[in-house]
Amino acid sequence: MNATIDMESLTLNIQRARRAVEELKRLGENFPAVARNAERILASLKMIEINVCDIAGSGFASEQVR
């Protein structure tokens, strides 16, 4: 694995971002502009998880396809 890439920090920050955006989505339940944009951010986050978390350490990003 490329020594200059800190996979552990990447993974930690991705997990933090997911928690934050999932909370945004929850808070935006009656606020379409927040909820729908949060949904789109989650889709982008999933792409970062596919690129990073699926292989980082022993952790597998999620048991879910989404």
Partner 1 sequence: MNYDQPYWNPVLETLPGDALRGLQLKKFQRVFRWTYTHSKFHRSLYEAAGISPEDIRTFADIRRVPTVEKSMMRDIQRKDPFPYGDALCVPLDEVTVFRQTSGTTGQPVYQPDTWQDWEWWAECWAYILWAQGYRPSDRVFLPFGYNVFVAFWAGHYAAEKIGCEVVPGGVLDTKARILKIQELRATAMMGTPTYLLGMAETARLKMGIDPAQLTVNKITCAGECGASIPSTKRRLEDAWGARIYDHAGATEIGAWSYECAAQPGGLHVNEAMFLVEIIDTETGQLIEEPGRRGKMVITAFDRQAQPCVRFDSKDVIEWAAEPCPCGRSFRVIQGGVVGRADDITKVKGVLLAPSAIEEVVRGIQGLGDEYEVVVDQTGNSETIRLRVEILPEAQDQCAWIQSELEDQLRLKTNLRYDLEICGCGSLPRYETKAKRFKDLRHKKTE
Minimum separation from the CB atom of position 32 to partner 1 (A):
14
- Per 3-state DSSP, the chain is made up of helix, strand and coil in percentages (nearest 5) of 65, 0, 35
Nearer residue to partner 1 within complex by CB, 26 or 40: 40
CB 53 within 8 A of CB 5: no
Minimum separation from the CB atom of position 56 to partner 1 (A):
8
CB 7 within 8 A of CB 56: yes
Give the residues lining the site for partner 1 (CB under 8 A): 1-2, 5, 7, 39-40, 42-44, 46-47, 50-52, 54-55, 60, 62-66
Q: Would you call 7 helix, strand, or coil by DSSP?
A: helix
Nearer residue to partner 1 within complex by CB, 33 or 47: 47
